Amino acid sequence: MYAQMIKSEATDEDPEKLAAFQARIDAGEKIEPKDWMPAGYRKTLIRQIGQHAHSEIVGQLPEGNWITRAPTLERKAILLAKVQDEAGHGLYLYCAAETLGVSRDELTEMLLDGRMKYSSIFNYPTLTWADMGAVGWLVDGAAIMNQVPLQRTSYGPYARAMVRICKEESFHQRQGFAIMMKMAEGTEAQRRMAQDALNRFWYPALMMFGPSDKDSVHSAQSMRWRIKMNTNDELRQKFVNESVPQAKLLGLTVPDPELRWNEEKGGYDYSEPDWSEFFAVIQGHGPCNTDRIEARNKAWDDGAWVREGMLAHARKKAAVRVAAE
Ligand code: BYC
């Protein structure tokens, strides 16, 4: 239905303007905030950048859960820095979305009342310390796979935000892999925890790339507009190809009996995730959806006095300025 809305809006627009816009995209030019753009392009970007920002913010919760229980002071400091980075990513992305004419408050309200989504992955619980390894290795690994091409996306502010985010995500992925290495080389109990974390996070990580191409409603148009640079299945395949040798290096087993190297396609054949689970999770029925949204609502309500105080301060400063003029 959303795709139909985009289409009908696009056909109402001046065909000459649309053609000139598409020519700029095809020539690899960046679109900047003050440039003319089709309503559907703006809407798709607000949806994608907004969801991406929300994912960074909600994504702090499963890892924040382990800051007080990190096994050493060094691990605590590293995890704390990583979670703070995610907050920063959310803020760059909200700023990029604001250049499209939507405010951060509006976006937040849409997250809090369920009108906007965030990544499915953050609706799964983090049960053990090994999950911090699996999240860094697989979740940030999947995020990088998706976000490196987005550095070349057609909308300038989004592409530029991605450059710094990708650098930080690389550090996140390595810290996760380092935790997995330590656990996999540790005691038998630690190795079992690492394997269990891989077992639980493998398919949810594959789901991060979105539904299979045949069910992806937005991919075709988003790729024409170069908002997306690859299809969901292309990136998922790349992620599987890179992660399987890493699991082997750790001495862990990817929980997929059908996993096989396919010489002809130059990639692994693998089992698809359970798509009914994916659709249930994005419709609000995952293991942690209720907790995540409750936590964000509480944070928003608890922070109301800070927002009010800052607005009152800004009003006061403006009044003093006007009086002085
Ligand atoms: N989860 O037509 P499709 C991170 C929805 S955070 C939830 O293929 P599209 C990190 C989709 O929105 C990583 N919903 O959509 C942070 C659409 O529904 P609506 C976040 C999903 O947009 C902290 C419907 O399914 N990364 O790295 O063309 C700690 C049909 O899908 C998901 C980004 O957001 C999902 N996984 O493609 C650690 C990257 N997948 O909106 C790490 C930017 C699909 O019509 N986003 N849906 O109701 C993208 O690249 C694209 O939006 C997607 C989906 C590939 C995710």
pLDDT digits (tens, 9 = 90+) for 240-298: 999 999 999 999 999 999 999 999 999 999 999 999 999 999 999 999 999 999 999 99
Collapsing DSSP states into helix, strand and coil, what is residue 75?
A: helix
Q: Whose alpha carbon is nearest atom 16 of ligand 1?
A: 56
275 within ligand 1 shell (Cβ under 6 A): no
With pLDDT > 70 as the criterion, what percentage of the chain qualifies?
A: 97
Average pLDDT for 305-313: 96
Which positions ≥6 away from 97 have C-beta within 8 Å? 45, 46, 49, 50, 53, 104, 107
Do residues 180 and 194 touch, judged by C-beta distance below 8 A?
yes
Q: Give mean pLDDT, residues 144-169.
A: 96
Residue 211 has phi, psi (to 5 degrees) of -65, 165
Checking 75-82 for CB contacts under 8 A at 24+ apart, the result is 75/179, 78/175, 79/132, 79/175, 82/136, 82/171, 82/172, 82/175
Query: N- to C-terminal Cα distance for the chain?
Result: 53
pLDDT of residue 10: 47
Give the mean pLDDT of the chain: 95
3-state SS of the chain: helix, strand, coil percent to 5? Answer: 70, 0, 25
Residue 9 pLDDT greater than 80, yes or no: no
Length of the chain: 325
Query: Pick from 232, 203, 196, 198: which is nearest to 215 by CA?
Result: 232
Closest approach atom of ligand 1 to CA 143: 27
The residue whose CA is least distant from atom 10 of ligand 1 is: 56
Determine if ligand 1 sits within 6 Å of the CB of residue 207: yes
Q: Quick check: CB of 230 below 6 Å from ligand 1?
A: no
State the distance from the centre of ligand 1 to the C-alpha of 317, rounded, in angstroms: 41
Higher pLDDT residue, 9 or 273?
A: 273
Contact 262, 268 (CB under 8 A): yes
For position 8, what pLDDT does the model report? 40
Ligand 1 neighbourhood includes 47 CB (under 6 angstroms): yes
Q: Looking at residue 45, what is its pLDDT?
A: 98
Name the residue with tokens 């309500």. 301
Share of the chain above pLDDT 90, in %: 96
- Answer whether 143 contacts ligand 1 (Cβ < 6 A): yes
Q: Does the pLDDT of residue 7 top 60, yes or no?
A: no
CB atoms within 10 A of CB 110: 18
- Res 12: pLDDT: 76
- Is the CB–ligand 1 distance for residue 149 below 6 Å? no
**Average pLDDT over every residue of 62-81:** 96
Q: What is the pLDDT of residue 3?
A: 39
pLDDT tens-digit profile of 92-142?
A: 999 999 999 999 999 999 999 999 999 999 999 999 999 999 999 999 999
Cα 51–Cα 205–Cα 144 angle in degrees, nearest 5:
65
What is the predicted pLDDT for the residue at 11? 57
